[in-house]
Amino acid sequence: MAKDGRKLVEAITPMDADFAQWYTDIVKKAELADYASVRGCMIIRPYGYAIWENIQRELDRRFKETGHENVSMPMFIPESLLQKEKDHVEGFAPEVAWVTHGGTEKLAERLCVRPTSETLFCDHYKDIIQSWRDLPKLYNQWCSVVRWEKTTRPFLRSVEFQWQEGHTVHATEEEAQEETLRMLDTYASFCEDFLAIPVLKGQKTEKEKFAGAKATYTIEAMMHDGKALQSGTSHNFGDGFAKAFGIQFTDRDNQLKYGQQTSWGMSTRIIGAIIMVHGDDSGLKLPPRVAPVQLIIVPVQSQVQGVKEKAEELKAALSRICRVKIDESDKQPGWKFAEHEMRGVPIRLEVGPKDILKEQVVLVRRDSREKLFVPMAELESTVMKVLEDIQASMFARALELRESRTTTAVSMPEFTAQLDGRQGFIKAMWCGERACEEAIKEKTAATARLMPFDQTPVGETCVCCGKPAKRLVVWGRAY
């Protein structure tokens, strides 16, 4: 690699030296995001936003396939409206930003900048739902929300972030539960099939559930450093919000009943997961299905007659099967190679005068750095196969990491030793008491990530107190 190329790569802090700085280096140098002038806020740059657009497009397609419609709610919530659901308000109170003035005039009532939109949806639903014929209401919103976080990091935790939030109303408890789990499955399949990120599915403990929810379900992914990242949540609200806001309907039996609600969301935090699951010391590594550019063409000796023309010809052919660009900059090839490696482009195609004479090109995989010499006549079919293989290989590698860093523990000394020895997920039994859950967090900084749907026990007693166990829990330190 050329000197300039090495220089670019060396600008990234090795992940084993300082994982947090490695992450920040990639966010900045791959031009995904930058810091804004407002504390804790970020500017999502074009390349980072292109990743988010691909995420939006795919999720939106899946939502609409399951009957959901997009709506848009206001950014502001009157304080009196927010106060209607006590548990919900208490859960978000420390993170709420308030608007107190409109221009130079003090507002008669403070307005909350939405941290989430349950109250807005509920206020609307009470007006448009009267009969069982109006149900279900399957709405989704794409927007930004504001939460006044104390500690922030681009994508992972910021004061303002982009997300989608689904809010639905159903006639029965069974329908609401079915919706809650269907959307959890939607998130899980999206992460695994589209982002090549393996996830665990399960229910949050009472302590960790969403404020005001009857039950919260989650998908949890393991990052390269062994920490967990909550990657999507789905909540069954039951009729708690409906009773607080008066969402009632006349059912088939002519009885007045309260609606059963759900809510579910995924945010730009998932871009942080892509970075931390797949990236390496050379930079970002994007799964092909989410990559803004799936193949970059780098002409070699582009000043030689015929090279640029051949690059354009190849781009026209490959545009039928993938997202492709040509690097027409005047940088040295080594710099270009390192730059596109940094940006995580799945395939690099090199073509120069000698390649043209041989009627071949060179393909280089970002995931394995394998170099392939491919006849031009076989290029389209080869590129399609390589993209699919990269997608599958990245998922397999991430799954292997998670499995290798998942252990079991039957006592606190064993629990602590395993977590300190090699950070990861720990499966351990729990008595169900909040005191033990809090004690584990205090002693180890590990939290109950989820109670997995597969409740195959790994012991009979609580890992903390030794009393008879009620649930299997996956524990871990988290972002």
Using the 8-state DSSP alphabet, how is residue 133 labeled? Answer: G
Res 4: pLDDT: 44
Q: What is the DSSP letter of 122?
A: H
| CATH match of 406-476 with 3.30.110.30 | yes
Bridge partners of 260, per DSSP, are: 170
pLDDT at position 303: 83
Give the other-Cβ count within 10 Å of 256's Cβ.
Answer: 8
Same fold, 14-72+120-278 and 406-476: no
E-strand spans in 103-214? 105-113, 137-146, 160-170, 200-203
Q: Tell me the CATH number for domain 14-72+120-278.
A: 3.30.930.10
The answer to whether the CB of 145 falls within 8 A of the CB of 172 is: no
Alpha carbon distance 251, 232 (integer Å): 32
Closest CA to 70 of 159, 162, 195, 168: 168
**Owner of token pair 């500017």:** 43
The DSSP letter of residue 378 is G
The pLDDT, as a whole number, for residue 94 is: 83
- What is the C-alpha to C-alpha distance for residues 63 and 190, in angstroms, rounded to an integer? 11
Query: Which residues of the chain are under the pLDDT cut of 50?
Result: 1-7
Q: Which two tokens stand for residue 350?
A: 């090199």
Global model pTM greater than 0.75: yes
> Any bridge partners for residue 324, and if so which?
295
d(CA 159, CA 10): 31
Q: State pLDDT tens for residues 2-46.
A: 344 444 555 899 999 999 999 999 999 999 999 999 999 999 999
DSSP letters, 206-241, are: TTTSPTT-SEEEEEEEE-TTS-EEEEEEEEEEETHH
Distance CA 222, CA 405 (A): 9
Please give the pLDDT value at position 9. Answer: 53
Q: Per-residue pLDDT tens for 237-251?
A: 999 999 999 999 999
Give counts: helices (H), strands (E), the chain.
15, 23
Please report which helix (H) or strand (E) contains residue 101, including its range: strand 97-102
- DSSP designation for 468: B
The two structure tokens encoding residue 386: 């390589």
**What CATH fold (topology level) applies to the domain 295-389?**
Rossmann fold (3.40.50)
Sketch the domain layout of the chain as residue ranges.
14-72+120-278, 295-389, 406-476
For 224, how many CA atoms within 13 A lie in the half-sphere containing its CB? 22
